[in-house]
Amino acid sequence: MSLARSYLFVPGTNKDMIKKAIASDADCIILDLEDAVALAEKEKAREALKESLIRFSKEKEIFVRMNDCETSFWEEDLICAVANGAAGVVVPKSESEQNIRLVCQKIREASSDSASNFQVIPLIETAKGVQFAYAIAAADEMISKMAFGSIDFSLDIGCELTASGLELLFARSQIVIASRAAGIEAPIDTVFADFNDVAGFENEAKIAKQVGFKAKLIIHPRQIPITNQLFSPSEQEISNAKSIVKAFEEAEENGVASIAVNNKMVDYPVYKKAKRLLFYSKQEEESSIS
C-alpha cells in the first residue's frame, strides 16, 4: 500500500528540472510526455525519458504520464516506461475500462516479469471518466489508484473553477467512492495551477482531504511542504486515534462495542478508522527512518 502524498509533475525533456525533482522532498515524480511536450518533440522526449529512468529510477518512484490512447504515441511511451524502470504510468483522459485493460495488456506483453509491481494510475478528467469511474477503477488488478484532473474536466463540462470547489464536489466524491468500492487506494487530487497562490493551494488541498483524497498532484516544489504536511496525520490526530483504540479494545474485552471517548461516540466504524490512521502513521514513520 502506497504512502505517497505528493506527486510532482516535471516535463519529460527538462533534465535540470528532473534532477532537482529527484532531490526534492516530493514522494514521487511524474515525467510528463503529454501536455508538457510539443507534438514534434514526442520522440525526442521519449529518449530523454529513457535516460532519466535509467539514471534515477532507483532513487525515487518515477511515474510517466503517457499520451492518451487516442493518439499514435501512447504505445511507444508505455513500452519505454516499462522497459526502463518506471514505477508506473499515469493514463490521461481515462474514460473506459476497455482502454485501461488494453494498457494493462500491453504492459504485460512488454514486461518479462509480468509487471507484478508496475502501477497504472488512470487520470479522470472528463465527464465520461467520472461517469464510469468505478468500471475504470475495477478494470484490472494493476490499477493502484486513480487521479483527478480538474482543469480538463472543467473545460469538458463547461464549469467555472472557484475557490470553494463546489463545482467539483460531485466529481471528487464520485472518484473517491469508486476507488473505495473497487478496493483500490484512495485517489490523488488535481493540480492547482497558480503555484504563487499558497493560500489558495492549501485551501483546495484541505477540501480534497475532507472529501477523501489522500495525495495531490503538484506542479512546483514550493507546493511540496504543504502537501506532505496536510496529507500526513497530525500529532493530535495520532494521539486521539491511540486513545480511541485503547479505550475501545478495553471495552470490547468486556463485551461493550459502543463507548464515549472525549465526549464523542465510538463504535466499530470509528474504531476501524482510528486503527487505519495508526497503521498509516506507523508505516510513514518506518519509511522515513529507512
Cα–Cα distance for residue pair 274/260, rounded to 1 Å: 14
Cα–Cα distance for residue pair 286/268, rounded to 1 Å: 27
Which of 123-137, 165-179, 256-270 is the least confident region?
Answer: 256-270
Supply the pLDDT for residue 284.
65
Q: Is 152 annotated as a binding residue?
A: yes
Q: What is the DSSP string of 171-221?
A: HHHHHHHHHHHHT-PPPEEPP-S-TT-HHHHHHHHHHHHHHT--EEEESSG
Q: Is 65 annotated as a binding residue?
A: yes
Q: Which residues contact 99 (CB under 8 A, 6 or more apart)?
A: 69, 91
**158 Rama class: left (phi>0) / alpha (psi -120 to 50) / beta:** left
Supply the pLDDT for residue 36.
84
Q: Does residue 250 carry a pLDDT above 70?
A: yes
Q: Which residue in this structure is represented by grid cell 510526455? A: 33
Share of the chain above pLDDT 70, in %: 94
Q: Which three cell numbers stand for residue 201?
A: 493551494
Cβ–Cβ under 8 Å, residues 35 and 42 = no
| Closest by CA position to 120, among listed 135, 151, 134, 141 | 141
What tens digit of pLDDT does each residue of 179-219 get? 999 999 999 999 999 999 999 999 999 999 999 999 999 99
Supply the pLDDT for residue 143.
95
List the alpha helices (DSSP H) in 84-168. Answer: 97-110, 127-131, 133-137, 150-157
Cα–Cα distance for residue pair 169/162, rounded to 1 Å: 11
Cβ–Cβ under 8 Å, residues 141 and 119 = no
CB neighbourhood size of 178 (10 A): 21
List the alpha helices (DSSP H) in 85-132. Answer: 97-110, 127-131
Q: Which three cell numbers stand for residue 41?
A: 518533440
Cα–Cα distance for residue pair 190/174, rounded to 1 Å: 14
Supply the pLDDT for residue 285.
65
